[in-house]
Amino acid sequence: MTALPVMGERHHRSWVGPPEYYDRIGALQFIVLVLLGMRENHTLLDIGCGSLRGGRFSLMYLNEGRYFGLEPEHWALEEGIAHEVSDGLVALKKPVFGHGSDFSATAFGTQFDFIMANGIFMHTGLTQIKQCLGAAAEVLAPDGVFIGAYIRGETDSTDDSDWTYPGIVCYTRERLAELAATASLRLQFVEWPHPFDHEWFVALHAGSTRQVPRGLDLGIFSWTEYLADQVEACGGPRRSHADYLKEDLASRVSPEQAERVVPQALERTG
């Protein structure tokens, strides 16, 4: 039986993390994106896409030409395509790849609805984190979502190496939020499991009004949401279930009953 390569070895699965967790970490990346709102018509920039550990799931899901990957280690990407994706899927989905090491994605000429940086912030120093945040802010759509993972520490790492992998660095939430603010990004921390004690963050443009949940769940689709979609598609107002109940109450309550009803519940909506 052939031994598994060790994390950090020059093998497409071990180069990007523990090879025995390659499948699960990749799937987890994709799940987080979907739970945070990514749909097949959106554009995704995968920073440090490596051998497409997570990218292969998004590549299959997204429409043609919607997946973009940045990976300076060209060999890892080529092996990932050969062993995990296939030239056929690449021909079908037409992803776009870049190989710069400065995180810049302006050459793609696209504003991205979603940006993912799953394996960057736990392996690089402050200078590169600032560079990554700044580069992401340049290409993030006005209401776009930048998602990343990091290792939370009680103090901030002082190692300012360009790349520490497979060694790790840790940062406090406060420090990451400060670094994001220098790129005019607003940072929010999201509760969702991650192996190896990593934590998730979401960065939005400072002026974005997009609402991001503090904790993720599997409620990506519901019967209530479907009905609201259908009402809106028919030209009706998109209102909450509570709004409909308030209107129904206001239409049914008699003057004698009104004094027992909280006043704001009698206000018709719409």
Q: What is the mean pLDDT of the chain?
A: 88
Cα 220 from Cα 33, distance rounded (Å) = 11
The predicted-structure confidence for 109-157, as pLDDT tens digits, reads as follows 999 999 999 888 988 888 999 999 999 999 999 999 999 999 999 999 8
Q: Which residue has the higher pLDDT, 212 or 59?
A: 59
Please give the share of the chain, as a percent, with pLDDT higher than 70. 94
- pLDDT (average), residues 224-244: 83
- Greater confidence, 15 or 78? 78
CA-CA distances (angstroms) from residue 122 to 38, 153, 156, 199, 200? 24, 11, 11, 10, 11
Residue 237 has pLDDT above 80, yes or no: yes
Task: Please tell me the least confidently modeled range out of 74-78, 204-208, 266-270.
Answer: 266-270
pLDDT band for position 233 (50/70/90)? confident
Confidence band of 229 (pLDDT split at 50, 70, 90)? confident
Per the model's pLDDT, the better-predicted residue between 13 and 24 turns out to be 24
Question: C-alpha 30: how far from its chain's center?
Answer: 8
For residue 216, pLDDT over 60 is answered with: yes
**By C-alpha distance, which of 26, 1, 2 is closest to 13?**
26
**Residue 270 pLDDT > 60:** no
In this structure, are residues 140 and 115 in contact, taking their beta carbons and an 8 Å threshold? Answer: yes
Whether the pLDDT of residue 91 is over 80: the answer is yes
* Domains recognised in the chain with CATH numbers: 19-205 (3.40.50.150), 223-266 (no CATH)
- At 214, the pLDDT band (50, 70, 90 cuts) reads confident
Q: pTM of the entire structure?
A: 0.81
pLDDT the model gives residue 105:
96
3-state secondary structure the chain: CCCCCCCCCCCCCCCCCCHHHHHHHHHHHHHHHHHCCCCCCCCEEEECCCCCCCHHHHHHHCCCCCEEEECCCHHHHHHHHHHHHCHHHHHHHCCEEECCCCCCCHHHCCCEEEEEECCCCCCCCHHHHHHHHHHHHHHEEEEEEEEEEEEECCCCCCCCCCCCCCCCCCECHHHHHHHHHHCCEEEEEEECCCHHHEEEEEEEECCCCCCCCCECCCCCCCHHHHHHHHHHHCCCCCCCHHHHHHHHHHHHCCHHHHCCCCHHHHCCCC
Q: If we measure between CA atoms, which residue out of 116, 123, 103, 97 comes closest to residue 17?
A: 123
More confident residue, 216 or 154: 154
Q: Kindly state the tokens that stand for 128.
A: 């590169």
Q: What CA–CA distance (Å, rounded) separates 160 from 182?
A: 17
- Give how far Cα 236 sits from Cα of 39, 178, 191, 243, 246, Å: 24, 43, 34, 13, 17
Query: Of 35-44, 231-240, 248-257, which one has max mean pLDDT?
Result: 35-44
Distance CA 252, CA 46 (A): 54
Distance from the Cα of residue 60 to its chain's centroid: 17
Lowest mean pLDDT across 31-35, 72-76, 81-85, 229-233: 229-233
125 or 261, higher pLDDT: 125
- Cα atoms found within 13 Å of the Cα of residue 101, Cβ hemisphere only: 6
